[in-house]
């Protein structure tokens, strides 16, 4: 006999939903703010990364010379990644004019089509497709998990690294990113 019956589970879910704990509220509650901790760690040189664009061209960090980069390592199957993608898309539109590129680097092995379908299903607009299907970049960066986001300055150095889902489109997040990349 199960510990909690299906009827009890459905009743609890209905009660939480009626009380205002719907999916959007749960997602918003799961996103943490960007920590505002002074100027950030000392700049760190990055390993040579190979980033595959949605059009099949390979880029390195040096190809973004003179720009700041928000490099978000994620996957379509990762719950926290899914939660933060709408705020990452809003961030991209808000910092583009400042010369900061948002690079959402997908670890999905299914390629461009998987990410395109995800963007369409979740109504994500304004984000380019970047792929790391073999996990080479994730391995080179020694990430402990996803989502992990690196803030990279205009000289191509890592300035900060955040693990977990973040609310990227807040004024505080944008100000911190601009400060770290040198805007």
Question: Domain spans of the chain?
Answer: 1-30, 35-181
How much is the pLDDT for 48? 82
Which segments of 48-155 are extended strands (E)? 51-53, 58-59, 68-74, 100-106, 130-131, 148-152
Q: What confidence score (pLDDT) does residue 14 get?
A: 36
Backbone angles phi, psi at 71, to 5 degrees: -100, 105
pLDDT attached to residue 30: 56
Which pLDDT value is given to residue 12? 37
> What is the pLDDT, as a whole number, of residue 32?
60
Q: Which residues of 83-120 are buried (b: 16+ CB within 10 A; e: fewer)?
A: bbbbbbbbbbebbeeeebbbbbbbbbeeebebbeebbe
What homologous superfamily is domain 35-181 in, according to CATH? Glutaredoxin (3.40.30.10)
pLDDT score, position 37: 42
Rg, C-alpha atoms of the chain: 18
What pLDDT shows up at residue 19? 40
- The predicted pLDDT at position 31 comes to 62
Q: What is the pLDDT along the chain (183 residues), one digit of tens a residue?
A: 344 333 433 333 333 333 444 444 444 445 666 554 445 567 889 988 999 999 999 999 999 989 999 999 999 999 999 999 999 999 999 999 999 999 999 999 999 999 999 999 999 999 999 999 889 999 999 999 999 999 999 999 999 999 999 999 899 999 999 999 986
């Amino acid at each position: 006999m199960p510990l909690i019956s299906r009827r009890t589970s459905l009743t609890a879910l209905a009660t939480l939903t009626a009380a205002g704990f719907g999916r959007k509220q749960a997602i918003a509650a799961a996103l943490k703010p960007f920590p505002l901790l002074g100027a950030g760690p000392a700049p760190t040189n990055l390993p040579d990364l190979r980033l595959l664009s949605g059009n099949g061209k390979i880029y390195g960090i040096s190809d973004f010379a003179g720009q700041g980069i928000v490099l978000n390592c994620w996957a379509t199957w990762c719950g926290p990644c899914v939660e933060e993608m709408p705020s990452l898309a809003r961030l991209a539109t808000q910092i583009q004019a400042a010369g900061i590129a948002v690079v959402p680097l997908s670890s999905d092995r299914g390629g461009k089509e998987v990410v395109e379908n995800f963007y369409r299903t979740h109504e994500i607009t304004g984000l380019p497709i970047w792929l790391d299907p073999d996990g080479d970049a994730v391995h080179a960066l020694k990430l402990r998990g996803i989502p992990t986001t690196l803030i990279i300055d205009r000289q191509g150095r890592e300035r900060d690294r955040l693990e977990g889902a973040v609310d990227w489109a807040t004024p505080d997040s944008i100000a911190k990113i601009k400060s770290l990349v040198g805007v």
